[in-house]
Structure 1
Amino acid sequence: MALPRTQRLTNRADFLRISQQGKTVGDDFFLLRYTPGAVTNNRVAIVISRKAIPLATKRNQLRRIISAWLAEYWCLDTSRPTDLVIGVKAGCAKLKSNQIKISLEQLFRKANLV
């Protein structure tokens, strides 16, 4: 399930603001950059480089899994609006969907976003 446009980061200025002013948390599979949101809802961008995951089908599959998890667990909580960029690392390609969800949940807890 794709995230609605209102919950996606699309503006270059927002990406720059998050990379310059935001906090960073990471593990072996993901890198989270986040900052308090400028609007009233959570916004997210999922970044997967071609160098990390060469096959487009795998990149798209990872985007769908991550988007579904975000829509189900994170985007509904608007008590603390947050702008978030999720970077996917190369090791993530070997994980199954339930392992991806567990890793994301642990990372969000580490960043105090859940």
Structure 2
Amino acid sequence: MNSTRFPRTARVRARSDFDRIFKHGRRVALPVLALHFQADQAVAPRLGLAVSRKVDPHAVGRNRIKRVLRDAFRHVRDELAPGDYVIVARPGASRCSGEELRTAFHSLLKRAGTRPAPALPLTPAPGTMPAASPSDPLPDPGPG
């Protein structure tokens, strides 16, 4: 999937969908954002945003919050479990920078358990035995 686009099919838009997610979905929250989500294997991950005038009385501020959250969702959409995700901004969100909003969003996803565990590193973890250097002599295989 092309992560640079945010098609209409990736949005929660209908009031009935918002009501269903708020009523039947799970919720995790931070002081600046709350995440309501409902797993649904039939749909690709979709995002809904709720940013009221209580969060910021100015449309410019509300739109900035939505733009940052849409962009953060767009970059992780392929990694998310199928279902609907609704982010509700709280009044403290208007004082957060874009990076702080992204961090809060990723923290919510992690707390909700909607992202798979990170892949294991390809390099082995350091152990208690030092690695052999090329100048070390080879051990004697013994009789055999």
TM-score (norm 1): 0.90
Matched with 1:59 is 62
* Paired position in structure 2 for 1:69: 72
Per the alignment, residue 82 of structure 1 pairs with 83
CA RMSD of aligned residues (A): 1.6
| More strand as a share of residues | 1
Give structure 2 stretches of 5+ with no counterpart.
116-144
Residue 107 (structure 1) aligns with: 108
Higher RCO, 1 vs 2 (CA within 8 Å, ≥6 residues apart): 1
Note if contact 2:55-2:62 (Cα within 8 Å) is conserved in structure 1.
Answer: no
Where in structure 2 are the equivalents of 1:1-114 lying within 5 Å?
3-37=6-40, 39-73=42-76, 75-77=77-79, 80-114=81-115
How far, CA to CA, are the matches of 2:8 and 2:21 in structure 1? Answer: 18
Correspondence for 2:122: none
Letter in 2 for 1:84: Y
Letter in 1 for 2:11: R
Deviation readout 1:20-43 (Å, 9 max, x if unpaired): 111111010001111012633011
Q: TM-score scaled by structure 2?
A: 0.72
* Alignment match, 2:135: none
SS of equivalent residue, structure 1 residue 76: helix
Q: CA deviation at 1:15?
A: 1.2
* Alignment length (residue pairs): 112
After TM superposition, where is structure 1 displaced by more than 4 Å over at least 4 residues in a row? none
Identical-pair percentage: 25
